[in-house]
Amino acid sequence: MVAEIDPARRLQAAYDGWHVVDLQDAIASADVVATATGAKKVVNSTALDNAKDGVFILNVGHVAEEIDCGYLRQFSHDEVMPYINAYRMGDKTVYLMANGSMLNLTAGFGDSLNAFDVTLAIMASGIHHIVTDGMNAEANVYLLPQSVWQKAL
């Protein structure tokens, strides 16, 4: 299930076969909510008020403020496990992981060196393509040809 805030990406997710939903509706039944948008306060106070009792909320995006943690902090809370805080919002509890920061970097061991090696190799291959074959292309946005990025793998 995908609850995307950007209309173009929402449409792309639907075309890719994902079941696209509205966050405000979906959060009422979600057991886990993971943000990966790069936008601030995607999970806002309204979404948090509508959240299901016992929901786990985590961020894997590149903005620490994707979840409105300031709103959550007004409620009593305890650290129930390392990197997991339980916020009591009236008759329900919301579990926030890694204080809303990027979970894989804050509570995990970060991204593996192998992942960075592959990413950097693909970038280098892409730059090579741009300064060689890509120089003949018209100014536009293009996907990196599969033959180019597969060389890096």
- Note whether 48 and 90 are same-domain residues: yes
- State the pLDDT at residue 43: 96
- Note whether 46 and 85 are same-domain residues: yes
Q: Which residues span the domain enclosing 43?
A: 7-106
| 46 within some domain | yes
- Note whether 69 and 32 are same-domain residues: yes
- State the pLDDT at residue 114: 65
Per-run averaged pLDDT (10 residues), the chain, 153 residues: 88 94 91 91 96 96 90 97 96 96 77 72 92 90 90 82
CA atoms within 13 A on the CB side of 114: 2
- State the pLDDT at residue 111: 60
Two tokens, residue 115: 């992942």
- Note whether 24 and 90 are same-domain residues: yes
CA–CA dist 21, 33 (Å, integer): 13
- State the pLDDT at residue 109: 63
Collapsing DSSP to helix, strand or coil, 136 comes out as helix
Residues with Cβ within 8 Å of 141's Cβ and at least 6 positions away in sequence, in order, are none
| 24 within some domain | yes
CA–CA dist 18, 15 (Å, integer): 7
Residues 74, 50 contacting (CB under 8 angstroms):
no
- In the chain, the number of structural domains is 2
**CATH code at 16?**
3.40.50.720
For residue 124, the surrounding DSSP H or E stretch is helix 113-131
- Note whether 62 and 133 are same-domain residues: no
pTM over 0.95: no
